[in-house]
Structure formats: structure tokens, C-alpha cells
Structure 1
């Protein structure tokens, strides 16, 4: 929380975790005479590292124990301002000289505005792998009402001097409080937390399951069906091999049968010749 400067009158505040630095460029404002009702809910975010996500779990910062985009942005702006202006805004971390009023207006704020206008290219600040954020809802009411303002005036012993002799006091206590007091009412809208987890779109197991599911949906394919197809291919191949083998055996058998018949015929003729004595040497 900080006091507003320049032409504004009031307070500027931001709801964040202790490990998340407050950036002066962000926040909510409220002025005197108002009561701000600040309701918020806590959200936890978990992001994936490459190749599925963009966070970098190894990213470290110089002036922060926990990496956040906001802390990275502050260090990026600090580096740029120190390099160009040889000083830093008083609210930036680091052991550097604070900028004077002239240096802030003529150099530091100009460099910060350049970075804000093109933050994505000027600073390498990927999203955090673990982050906690707050969704804030604001509503306002006039503060205080007349009875409560009177009670506050008595409680804090607010006395109002005369502006000029003989002129009544500067308004009433209620008017004084409305011009100088800011009221904030901060509360959780819900005691529950919302956690957002970034998951892989598809890993190897999911990919195989998806392929099997689509095959089963469109062509009725399953592991059993694939095994049956494989068995059918193997049995068909074996059947073709057996058929080819039988054909070769039959072909060889038919080739040998004429030779056997011719040999048998020659043998019978020779035997018949011997029986008739035409070829005997004993005659």
C-alpha cells in the first residue's frame, strides 16, 4: 500500500502473496471519504515446462527468492534504468544510487515506459511454473455517515481550529474525516481455493489409447482382432508353403516313374532272352 502522488489524493493498494513483489504499475486506488470493500478469491496455477508448456523451472532471479513474472519485470526494468540513467527509482531493489527527481522524470520513467510499451520483446520473462493469484472485486460507499463520524471524532479526539477569527470551525468533524480518512475493508469472498493445473494434451500412453479407440470405433479393431489377423497370415503362409512342397514332390515322382518303367522293361526283355537260350554260352 502506498500514498498516491502527483495530482491524486488517496491510497493505492494491491492484493498479493508475500513472495510476489508489488509493481507500482498495478493496483487499485481509493480516496478520502470512501470506504472500499475489497473481496478476493485465491487461485493457484501450475504450468508445464517445455516441450508441453512455456515455464522455466530453472529460472532464477537476483533480488527475489521465488520466480514470478512481476519480479522478473522489476529486475528487467532495473537493469535497463541503471544502464541508461546510472541510478534507480527508490522503490526498486539493488545497491544502486536512487534517482533524483530530475533523473526520474527525464530518464528513469521514460525507460520504464518504453519497456511497458513493448514488454514481450524487451524482457525475457516466461510464465511461472507455480503461481498464486487473487481475483479482486471492488465496491465503494461514502464514509463515514454523520453519527459514525461524530463517534470517530470523539474517539480520536479530533479538534478543528478556526480558519479565521470569528469564523466558525472548518466544517464539522464528519467533513474533516471525509476529507482526510480512507477506509479499507478486505475479506475473502470464499474460504475455498481454485487450482488450475496445466496438463499434457497427449502423452505416449494416451496416443496409443486414442489410436486403439479410433480403430475400434471405425473398423472394430482390437488386440484380439490383430492377433487373429496375424494368425491368419501365418497359417495362410504355411499352407502355401505346404502346397508348394507337395507340388514339387508330385512333380519329382512323375519324373521318376517313366525311368523306372523303362528300366523294368529292359530287365524283363533281358530275362526273356536268357530263358530262350539265345544268349547262353552253354549251348
Structure 2
């Protein structure tokens, strides 16, 4: 055998990396289940065929990856879908709404004539004593806040005593109360509440001890019920063993036979039209028992000498436990254990907004409004800070709208996402003239006992025995995402989980087996061994 023959034999025994790779790829392409790959590696295929299948496989792979990335983006950015619950929820599983009633009459003219004092202050303030000016400043806080924006910048806790002194008394306003259509004393059902409207009256709201944290200074100026054990929470609801006598209260039926009703009175001689304007009567707000009322934002009116029927339609949103693994900004809600407020024990979106406004007002004005939660050292703003408080509220809304400006200036946003379990109450209203004088005449009541009295009656009850709850669920879970990816890969290139195992096998076990059987130069296992005795002897 010549030297050339020996070198030729060696080249067959020791092919280069490129030849080994081509041979091994041909072996893989003959075995793989991925569509089209076999035509790239088969021996005997022309360059045109290989190039054609390379374009086809590349295009399919490009479209497949593009669609998978779109699916992944949807999974990350919109993981939540809101749908209706599979079964309706009975009304006894939720509390009856808290009802806050605020008389438009803030000052009894027989006790304090705000109109007279207003003109005295703006025409001849030198004729008023310091005590009279101080009292006028405090009373003006519950009247039209555009009327009086000068005076004391800070007020003390005596402002609550002034509110109680000039406001319509509890027993005068609330004349008759019914719960579940049965007469009960109003004092056992409602309590005085401090809102931005001044002294109001609230039914079925959580007590201060259940509502606020220990960071809040709980003023004793307004009456409260005795401490009651809270038997309800937003996420878990009522325990199954509880009966109908719960706190907060709940009803067991719908319709007027299971209603809450109020018969309220005001007296024409006591109405001050400069303080609150031309519309007299009552502002009424339905709200979650775990939320403090914001009467000026969402309310309806109960006019004088009218009977108002309020048909309640609950709106409840729940969230599946499968969404706990997502961030709050992805699912757009907070579970109760994810966001602890400084002033409120129970997180709701409205409580968060109140707390945020309180913090911004304190930061900008050095004080907070009299109705805001505060600690014992925080000062309360007087009428001289009315404009500052307005600007603080406007700033809070601006922060939420102008996100780019807030982020660029490192301004802390409220980030008041809804609670993952939220409960609101919508109302359908109807009203008619309340001809109560004829009823009094029928009972032969002496009208001289009620000079200038005006009455309003309001009924509250659920519209239906059950209602449909909305649920947040996963739009794409991990299983759904993998199923979508697998469907796309199978549709375009016939790829499956076994295809991945097959590739791993050819890059590991199969490769190591070939090297073991044929040596390092024969790892493809596709080159025939040269059985040449003369070559071996040489």
C-alpha cells in the first residue's frame, strides 16, 4: 500500500468536524418527529431542496415564536379576566349597607343664626367679641366652604362641642325608625357620625374600635354604640354558624317586608339657606360598613315632604386564590393581608383614598380636616386653610392622572387599587309626595305641637333575594400558557415535549454512546470501519 493510500484511509478513519457534524445531523434528521427537518439532513437532497425547506421551516418558526411572544405578553400584562359567578349569592351572606343621613340644616337658627353672624363678621367684625369670631370660624367649617376662607388656620377639639351645640338634635331629626319593618328606637339603630358635612347619623357602620387602628385619636365628642364583636369580614363574610342577629346587621329577605326605614323631621324656622344653599332636606349615602362615609362625593337626596323608596342592588367582586401569586399591579387589586393602612384596620379603595388625602393635606397644610383620621398630635385645619385643603385634594387627583410627572419628580402616589373582595351598593330611587298632614289630621294630632315641621320618609330594601357576583380569575394560568405554546408549536412545526427530549437525547446519551462505541473520531457512528489487514499491519 502506498503512502497515498494510507493517508486516504486515515482520512476515512479520521474525518473532520464538519463531516462528523453533517453525518450526525443526517442521523438525527432521519429519526426526528419535527416536520421538515428530515429533508434538510437526508443524503441525496439537492441544494435547492434543502434551501426551500430551510425557508419553510424558518418562516414557520418565526411565526410560531412571534405568536408565542404575543401570548406571553398577554399572560404577563393581562392575566385577569372578570366573569360572572357560577351561582347567585343570597342577600343574607352580605351585610345590609351602612346608611349615612346628613341633614342640610347644619345650624338651628334658634340656637345659632349663621346668616346673621356671617354678615356681622364681613360688615362689622370689630363689633364681635373674640369668642363670637372663634365660634363663627368653627361653624363655618360645616357650611359652604367657599363662603368663608379666612380666619383661624388651626382649630382645637372644642370644634366638636360647637358642632353638637348648633346641629339639629338626634331625637328631633330621627322621629321613627324601623328595622326589618318593625319599630325600634332610633338610638339603638343609628349613631352620630362625623363627616365632611358635619354631624350626621349612620346605621350599620363598624364601630371605631373595629374601623380604625390604634394610630387614630378617637375623639369622644360624638356618641357611639357599645363595643360589639365584629362577626364579618370582606373576604370571609359571615361564619356559617351565625344566626340572623349579627354585627354588622344583615337581612334575610328582600322587599319592603325586610326593610330599614326612617321618618325624619326638620323645622322651617331653623333652616339656614346661606349656610347650605337653596336645597333643603337630607343627603343620604349607602356605603360599605367597613368604609367611612364620603357624603359629598356620592349621595342622593331625600327632599322635604317626600317619601323616597330606595331599592338596593349589591355589587360584589371576588378574586380567586389562584391570583395570589401575581403582583397586585398585575391583578389590579389588593388582598387584605397585602396592604396595611396606617389608620384603617380593613383595606378598601375608599379608605385608602381618605388616608392618602389625609397624608397629602398634612404634608401641604401642616394640618388635616376635622373629619379626617389623625393621631393625637396632628392639628386640625381651620377656615383659613380651606384653600390649602382644596389644593391638596386637587393634587391627589393630579398625581393619579399625570403618572409621568409623578414618576419624574419622585412623587409618592396613592396606589389605591380596589380590594380583591369589594362590596358596593347601587340604588334605584322613586319618590312621591308625602302628605303627612292628612295622616296627622286623621289621628287628630294637634299641629300646634309641631310649628313649621317638615317630614321625609325613606325606605331601604334589597331588590332581589339573590344577586350575581363578579369574579376575577386567571385568564392564562401556567397550564393555559403551556397549552397555547404547545398548540402553536404543534401547528407550525409539529413540535412536542418529546421533541425536546429527543434533542436532549441526541446531544447527550446518543453522542456519548457513539463516542464510547466508535471512538472520538467516530462519534457520528455513520462511517464504516475499514477492515484492512494490510493497513493494520502497516
Common fold by TM > 0.5: yes
Q: What residue number does 2:462 align with?
A: 188
CA drift of 1:133 comes to 2.6
1:36 aligns with 2:308: yes
1:202 aligns with 2:479: no
Task: After TM superposition, list the pairs within 5 Å mapping 1:67-146 onto structure 2.
Answer: 67-94=347-374, 95=376, 96-100=378-382, 102-103=383-384, 105-116=386-397, 118-120=399-401, 123-144=413-434, 146=435
Cα 1:24–1:137, aligned 2, differ >3 Å: closer, same or farther?
A: closer
Q: Contact 1:36–1:138 at 8 Å: present in 2 too?
A: no
The 3-state SS of whatever aligns with 1:182 is strand
1:3 aligns with 2:277: no
Q: Contact 2:369–2:381 at 8 Å: present in 1 too?
A: yes
CA drift of 1:28 comes to 1.7
- Tell me the distance in 2 between the aligned counterparts of 1:66 and 1:143: 40
Q: What residue number does 1:150 align with?
A: 438
CA drift of 1:161 comes to 8.1
- Tell me the distance in 2 between the aligned counterparts of 1:243 and 1:97: 89
Cα 1:222–1:137, aligned 2, differ >3 Å: closer, same or farther?
A: same
CA drift of 1:43 comes to 0.9
CA drift of 1:152 comes to 4.7
TM-score normalized with structure 1 length:
0.64
Q: Contact 1:73–1:123 at 8 Å: present in 2 too?
A: no
Task: After TM superposition, list the pairs within 5 Å mapping 1:18-57 onto structure 2.
Answer: 18-30=289-301, 31-39=303-311, 40-46=313-319, 49-50=326-327, 52-56=330-334, 57=337
Higher alpha-carbon Rg: 1
Cα 1:211–1:157, aligned 2, differ >3 Å: closer, same or farther?
A: same
CA drift of 1:156 comes to 9.8
Unaligned runs of 5+ in 2: 1-99, 105-142, 144-275, 407-411
- Tell me the distance in 1 between the aligned counterparts of 2:286 and 2:491: 51
Q: Contact 2:490–2:496 at 8 Å: present in 1 too?
A: yes
- Tell me the distance in 2 between the aligned counterparts of 1:143 and 1:129: 40
Cα 1:137–1:254, aligned 2, differ >3 Å: closer, same or farther?
A: farther
- Tell me the distance in 1 between the aligned counterparts of 2:423 and 2:362: 30
1:62 aligns with 2:342: yes
Cα 1:232–1:61, aligned 2, differ >3 Å: closer, same or farther?
A: closer
Q: Contact 2:349–2:418 at 8 Å: present in 1 too?
A: yes
- Tell me the distance in 2 between the aligned counterparts of 1:109 and 1:156: 51
Q: Name which of structure 1's ranges 71-80 and 102-111 shifts more when overlaid on structure 2.
A: 102-111
How big is each residue's C-alpha offset from its partner over 1:239-274, in whole Å with a ceiling of 9 and x where there is no partner? 995552xx3233x246469x8xxxxxxxxxxxxxxx
Unaligned runs of 5+ in 1: 163-169, 171-175, 260-283
- Tell me the distance in 1 between the aligned counterparts of 2:426 and 2:464: 12
Cα 1:231–1:99, aligned 2, differ >3 Å: closer, same or farther?
A: closer
CA drift of 1:64 comes to 0.8
1:249 aligns with 2:523: no
RMSD: 4.0
